[in-house]
Chains A and B, each alone.
Chain A
Amino acid sequence: MATEISQRAASDSDTVAPLVEARDVSVVYGSEGNAVRALSGFTGELRAGEIVGLVGPNGSGKTTLVRAITGGVPLVSGQLRVAGDDVSALSARELALRVAVVPQTPMLPEAFRALDCVLMGRTPHLSLLQSEGETDVEIARQAMIATDVWSFADRMIGELSGGERQRVVIARALAQQSPILLLDEPTAHLDIGHQSDVLEMARTLREREGKAVLAIVHDLTIAAQYCDRLIMLDRGEIVREGHPSHVIQEDVLARVYGTQVTVFAHPKTGLPVVAPSLEDR
């Protein structure tokens, strides 16, 4: 079913409906009295074959949006459709066939092998009594080669470093073979080499499989280099969205982040690079 969705998405990405479609979505945490509006009237979409970066300061609603797309938080208003269907109408399994998530700091069972963890990505494809077959192992193997974790497939999670675990979780999301990939700070625990690996991989997936990728990225320079489009959130609302050079501008960043930065063009790509202003020096 997932392949069917992604094939459909890949073949005519311009004509079909967006894979994720949010209309006026609001999410409120807490009860009345001390309610916090985490997302306020968010409208946006994610199409097959694009990488959208979600940027903004802490507490701006980025993770809430990812949770809303995975059915993890109820909406107080608005409509959220994933591959054509309303999120609230989809079962956990149907949703997992459409959306794979790489959470920010995932808890992993330490005594399981890395390969076992990646094979868990096959869960939505298996019925209750089914075990992973050769095809599933092969899919997991490809995912682990892609994220550079195959060489320690046999090692226990407890023996891996933070960055290695992060890549195991990314491999698990790849093994899920869903048309939509949500990455919550996918590069947080990674060294610069693996950071660019992960984002290059996201681009490869987009090109070869027409996946739609939504990534929360804190590093604005990285976000600008790898994403087709950025959405900047602040206090649950969209401040600016569009091409990275339209979003990453000194006055916008000064307003949203409350700090003075210098933005200049990357010598090769021309895309914005953000550096501290260091005006005092």
Chain B
Amino acid sequence: MRVARWQRLLGGRGDEPVREAATVRPALWPRATVGLAALFGIAMLALALGSADVPLDATVRILASHLPWVEWDTDLPASWKSIIWQVRLPRVLLAGVVGGTLAMCGATYQGVFRNPLAEPYLIGVATGAALGSTIVLVSDVPSSWHGFSVLPLAAFAGAISSVLVVYAVARVGNTVPTTTLILAGVAVASLTTAMTSYLMLQNTTNTIAVFAVILGGFNTATWAKMVWALPYVIPATLVILAHGRVLNVLNLDEIQARALGVDVDRTKLLLLGVSSLAAAAAVSVSGTIGFVGLIVPHAIRLVWGPDNRHLLPLSIILGAAFLIGADLLARTLDQPAEIPVGIITAVCGVPFFLFLLRRAKVAYY
């Protein structure tokens, strides 16, 4: 019987019946459809609800009327039209772009560092980016150049400096252990946050503005901010999505990944670079919003498994839905005041973070 077993190699079949395993990967589209439906539903709610509620059907009609040859909103008040189109839509879209970006970057950092707790905020990337853009804002450097905002670039400089410091400090041999990563990340995040706060307080008497950067928010969202962020976010997203399968291989240790033909150093550098660029662009339009990059990818892993080819696109979709929802809560829970959205994500995120820390060894990563 033993002999029969190895003779099955290369087409020969032995006498033991072999249970057929499911050889096909589950398809992405049913999962993506569920995600997109959630995203669409939450986005419509976020457009309709607010200090002035607009009925859902009117919201749909106002949006549809921006399509060519559609005129469904002639009988609706002009104030509704401008609330939906000028105020809420850019805000919802920006929250979606930032949420999708942060979740995607979180999933990417977790893969590259092979560490379940890596996340733009916790490893200092987001706070470094905030420091970078704050330096531009409070100094005399022009913040745009030929209509091209340099804020995301300044944020990127801050982000990449932070990630390099954290990586260099936290690295032990070929791995980045959870404890050292989180310790180094928290230290760098505290330092950069302190510097950002100091710079802001030196240059403004308005502490609200300081909190807006440190806790993040979308109350100043405009169409222009969307346009700033997209030239950085879109190329980074394409690069990251293209690396889904390779990121799976990086889940092995570096020696194995190299033996399987992955140029480990170059791939890591590329992925860290583009994800820091995307995270920095997100931070430069929204301030530092924590825990999105932690909660969303892990929730997806718990439900749908760790394959990065699913994890990355689903993180984008559900990260967008999550942050649009969080922003909706931020502006409706305590009307007419607004809670910074970072407080909402922290309230949801910290318990989840503690839960993950508690069971970091469990096999779903």
Contact across chains for B6 and A201 when beta carbons are under 8 A apart: yes
How many angstroms from the CA of A196 to the CA of B307 in the assembled complex?
34
Q: Across the interface, which residues of B come within 8 angstroms of A153, CB to CB?
A: 21-23
B35 CB → nearest A CB, Å: 20
Contact across chains for B261 and A97 when beta carbons are under 8 A apart: yes
Contact across chains for B259 and A128 when beta carbons are under 8 A apart: no
Residue A70, interface by CB 8 Å: yes
Interface size on B, residues (CB 8 A): 42
How many angstroms from the CA of A112 to the CA of B311 in the assembled complex?
13
Q: Across the interface, which residues of A come within 8 angstroms of B5, CB to CB?
A: 148, 197
Known: A72-B258, A100-B259, A131-B309. A107 touches B21 (CB 8 A): no
B207 CB → nearest A CB, Å: 45
Residue A137, interface by CB 8 Å: yes
Q: Across the interface, which residues of A come within 8 angstroms of B21, CB to CB?
A: 115, 150-154
Contact across chains for A124 and B253 when beta carbons are under 8 A apart: no
Give the contact-size bracket for chain A: 35 or more
Residue A126, interface by CB 8 Å: yes
Q: Across the interface, which residues of A come within 8 angstroms of B219, CB to CB?
A: none
Q: Across the interface, which residues of A come within 8 angstroms of B364, CB to CB?
A: 111
Contact across chains for A106 and B363 when beta carbons are under 8 A apart: no
Q: Across the interface, which residues of B come within 8 angstroms of A137, CB to CB?
A: 23-24
Residue of A nearest to B250 (CB): A109
Contact across chains for B6 and A146 when beta carbons are under 8 A apart: yes
Query: Which one of A33-41, A88-96, A222-230, A270-278 is at the interface?
Result: A88-96
Chain B residues numbered 53-80 whose CB sits less than 8 Å from any CB in chain A: none
Contact across chains for B260 and A123 when beta carbons are under 8 A apart: yes
Known: A92-B258, A92-B264. A120 touches B249 (CB 8 A): yes
In the complex, per-residue mask of A155-180: 1 if CB is within 8 Å of any chain B CB, else 0: 01111000000000000000010000
A120 CB → nearest B CB, Å: 5
Pick from B2, B255, B301: contact of A197, CB below 8 A: B2
What are 19 A-B contacts defined by CB distance under 8 Å?
A: A70-B259, A92-B261, A93-B261, A101-B256, A101-B259, A103-B259, A110-B365, A111-B363, A112-B305, A115-B21, A116-B248, A120-B248, A120-B249, A123-B262, A124-B260, A126-B245, A137-B24, A142-B11, A208-B9
Extra contacts, 10 of them, besides A97-B261, A196-B2, A197-B2 (Cβ < 8 A), are A93-B261, A108-B252, A109-B252, A112-B307, A137-B23, A142-B10, A154-B21, A200-B6, A204-B7, A205-B9
